[in-house]
Amino acid sequence: MRIPKPALEEGYTPITSRDDPDDVNTQMEFGILRLAPNENYQIPFELEKALLLMKGDAYFVWGCPGEELSEGHAERHSLFDEGPWCMHAPAGAQVAVTAGDEGAELAVMLTENETTFPATLFSPDDCRSERRGEGTMRETSTRIVRTIFDHDTRPDANLVLGEVVDFPGKWSSYPPHHHPQPEIYHYRFLPDNGFGFAMLGDDVLKVRHEDTVLILNDRSHPQVSAPGYAMYYIWVIRNLDGNPYTSPTFEPEHAWVQDPDAPIWPPER
């Protein structure tokens, strides 16, 4: 399902809810928070929470019950050229964010989770960045994949979070793959009049700047950006009870393209 670009104004704009109908329910609250310079926002206590800085600068204050409060500063000017800053905290933790003099834009992800874990402000140096697809498929699926945290690094979390940067005209989430855990993609383009295509099974959706796509029911979901336009998207996965996300299942009929020596037409001369 594609959710078109919402009217993003100052404050919090919800995009998904845990109360959504069953056929589009990702078990996650997802939205965009836009703060004016020096504006403060308190995050709900009762849910696991991740706040991904997209633009501007932000000051975080956080703490779990019985702990002293911690604080940290994050700054980001380009989704495409700079790694992520992300505040991740368990249910019950106090988290507040205050925008700096530039203001701030953040993606907010919330979900239920009764398990506690340390609240952490992830910096770009804490996140894994890979150039996936490099050296295969004639570089038609080379992209940057940033993993902020996953089941290996945050085994008690119910969220798995990262980013993808697609080079113009190239594929990502490729070869086509799927997993039973629900996922959300949220897109930005450079320039912002760009577009791309998202596949959900046999359905093809045109995606634009600030669109959101919900991936449910174990559907495969390869993506491609239009030539001339770089495509960025947040990917956030909700672990299922007793079945956390660890790795995708590739469609076997297309997995052969990952072989660096795969014979791809036309033959290299």
Q: Confirm whether 256 is domain-assigned.
A: no
Q: Confirm whether 14 is domain-assigned.
A: yes
> Which pLDDT score is estimated for 126?
98
Q: What is the CATH number of the domain that holds 222?
A: 2.60.120.10
Distances (CA, A) of 49 to 99, 119, 120, 162, 238: 18, 9, 11, 14, 12
Asked if 60 contacts 71 with a C-beta cutoff of 8 angstroms, the reply is yes
Amino acid, res. 89: A
pTM score, two decimals? 0.97
Do β-strands 143-149 and 128-132 pair in parallel, antiparallel, or remain unpaired?
Answer: antiparallel
Span 67-112, pLDDT tens digits: 899 999 999 999 999 999 999 999 999 999 999 999 999 999 999 9
Count of structural domains within the chain: 1
Asked if 54 contacts 105 with a C-beta cutoff of 8 angstroms, the reply is yes
Q: Confirm whether 213 is domain-assigned.
A: yes
Residue the block writes with tokens 């940057």: 144
Q: Confirm whether 267 is domain-assigned.
A: no
Q: Confirm whether 72 is domain-assigned.
A: yes
Which residues of the chain carry a pLDDT beneath 50?
none
> Which pLDDT score is estimated for 209?
98
Asked if 218 contacts 22 with a C-beta cutoff of 8 angstroms, the reply is no
Q: Confirm whether 193 is domain-assigned.
A: yes
> Which pLDDT score is estimated for 9?
82
Secondary structure class of 188 (helix, strand, coil): strand
Do β-strands 48-63 and 11-16 pair in parallel, antiparallel, or remain unpaired?
Answer: unpaired
Q: Confirm whether 106 is domain-assigned.
A: yes
> What values do phi and psi take at 23, rounded to 5?
-75, -10
Residue 138: which domain range? 2-242
Beta bridge partners of 89: 49
* Ramachandran category for residue 77: left, alpha or beta (phi over 0 → left; psi -120 to 50 → alpha): alpha
